[in-house]
Amino acid sequence: MPASTAMSPRLRLHHLLLSILSALPTCPLDHSTPTSAAAAAAATASHHHVVTTLPGYDGELPFRLETGYVAVDEEEHGAELFYYFVESESGDPRRDPLLLWLTGGARCSVLSGVFFEVGPVRLALEHHRPYDAGELPRLRYHPHGWTKAASVLFVDSPVGAGWSFSRHPDGYLVGDVSASLQLKHFLAKWISDHPEYLANPFYIGGDSYAGKIVPFLAQKISEDIEAGVRPIVDLKTIMEHCQGEDYSNPKNAICRQALDRFNEGSVDEWLRCHNGDLPYSMDIKSNIKFHHNVTTKGYRALVYSGDHDAMIPFLGTQAWVRSLNFSVVDDWRAWHVDGQSAGFTITYMNNMTFATVKGGSHTVPEFEPERSLAMFKHEMMQPDA
Ligand SMILES: *[C@@H]1O[C@H](CO)[C@@H](O)[C@H](O)[C@H]1NC(C)=O
Ligand SMILES: *[C@@H]1O[C@H](CO)[C@@H](O)[C@H](O)[C@H]1NC(C)=O
Ligand SMILES: *[C@@H]1O[C@H](CO)[C@@H](O)[C@H](O)[C@H]1NC(C)=O
């Protein structure tokens, strides 16, 4: 009996991801010590190319995928962030939103977001038979990816996550604030390279720990907009998930758990994430003030929670939303997809919406893709969204 038949599902998944990663074109396999060829290739300020096939996917990809590197601290440490950009599949990418998507956790690869959440392909996990470690995992098309409605820019952040790397070891010494500022720098360079997306409505979204970064990044972008910095994205909406907690003193026991998982480099996430061997400073204690600031400036916000989220129960998120003291514009009501109840929603002043997704767990789009896509499309339909 081959050893692989005894592999736990988790270990199996780890092997699957590693096979995909190692087969992806032009990525340095070990981000902390990029091969000289990869480093040389990445040395140009913005280096990208279009990927037309993926290992494990039969034939040409039915969507446009671009991957690349953007240098974010070129003078100091030579750190570069890696991205996957999928153009909107709606047929109207010039008008659809551009969504920046960040993955939470301890330096988790944003491939979690691509393959398990809002991306256009998913790993086909065949649970009914043992996995052979020598075999390449299969990818299948995902009909409820958010790329059905928006172009999505998936970024490996902070430095050290996924394929993002630094030439100098000190480049890995980042935290909430510096990682957010690097993302802002990344965006400015990416949009200069892709001016055709300058006028698109720009959204920032992320799950779990990334929710801590989203409001702060939005605050920093809004400051640049006020200062007249050019070129700049047309920020419209932030989409978040459990971010508002005061992280230095989480009231919510479950939020505290999420934080502990982050500190420990959790067992659940190690396969997609870094093992906690790189330093990271949690220097944003609470982002309620950033969130408050950004929403009162007129940017929309959608805060969502799965109603089966055992890690960050929606009641805790809701308590956080209430603490902003915004008055209710449209009180609790059910929302529906195809005549079926899909969750509940409430709208506050300052165009702030809180929604629950029925059946959704911690990473909502992973387990409730249809309802999540419907929620996202609904948010996009709002005036000025
Ligand atoms: C709120 O926004 C204003 C104007 O952009 C800025 O000066 C202030 O520092 C912001 N507050 C926080 C907590 O970021
Ligand atoms: C909301 O109101 C409470 C009680 O009046 C106050 O302590 C809290 O600071 C307010 N929150 C914000 C974000 O203004
Ligand atoms: C909410 O959005 C609407 C539609 O764009 C806009 O007219 C309104 O000013 C916004 N409200 C606030 C409080 O920003």
Q: Write out pLDDT tens, residues 21-45.
A: 655 554 433 333 344 444 444 444 4
The C-alpha atoms of residue 243 and residue 49 are separated, in whole angstroms, by: 33
| Closest Cα to atom 6 of ligand 3 | 384
pLDDT at res. 109: 84
The domains located in the chain, with CATH, are 3-380 (3.40.50.1820)
Q: Which atom of ligand 2 is nearest to the CA of 292?
A: 13
pLDDT at res. 30: 37
pLDDT at res. 108: 82
> Which ligand is nearest to the Cα of residue 219, counting in written order?
1
Phi-psi region of 294 (alpha: psi -120 to 50; beta: other; left: phi over 0): alpha
Site to probe by mutation for ligand 3, drawn from 294, 295, 351, 380 as the one with most ligand atoms within 8 Å of Cβ, is 351
pLDDT at res. 42: 45
The C-alpha atoms of residue 325 and residue 292 are separated, in whole angstroms, by: 10
The C-alpha atoms of residue 267 and residue 271 are separated, in whole angstroms, by: 8
Question: Is 285 near ligand 1, meaning CB less than 6 Å away?
Answer: no
Site to probe by mutation for ligand 1, drawn from 181, 184, 217, 219 as the one with most ligand atoms within 8 Å of Cβ, is 219
- The DSSP call for residue 115 is I
> Which ligand is nearest to the Cα of residue 288, counting in written order?
2
Reported as a single tens digit per residue, the pLDDT across 368-380 is 889 999 999 988 8
The C-alpha atoms of residue 186 and residue 193 are separated, in whole angstroms, by: 11
Low-confidence ranges of the chain (pLDDT < 50): 1-7, 9-10, 26-45, 243-244, 248, 251-255, 258, 261-271, 311
Instruction: Work out the angle at residue 74's Cα, subtended by the Cα atoms of residues 69 and 79, and round it to the nearest 5 degrees.
Output: 55
Q: Which atom of ligand 2 is nearest to the CA of 325?
A: 1
Catalytic site residues?
A: 208, 309, 362
- Adjacent-strand bridge partners of 151: 98
> How buried is residue 52: exposed, middle or buried, by Cβ count under 10 Å (0-12/13-18/19+)?
exposed
Question: Is 347 near ligand 3, meaning CB less than 6 Å away?
Answer: no
CB 143 within 8 A of CB 119: no
Site to probe by mutation for ligand 2, drawn from 251, 294, 323, 324 as the one with most ligand atoms within 8 Å of Cβ, is 323
- The DSSP call for residue 136 is P
pLDDT at res. 208: 74
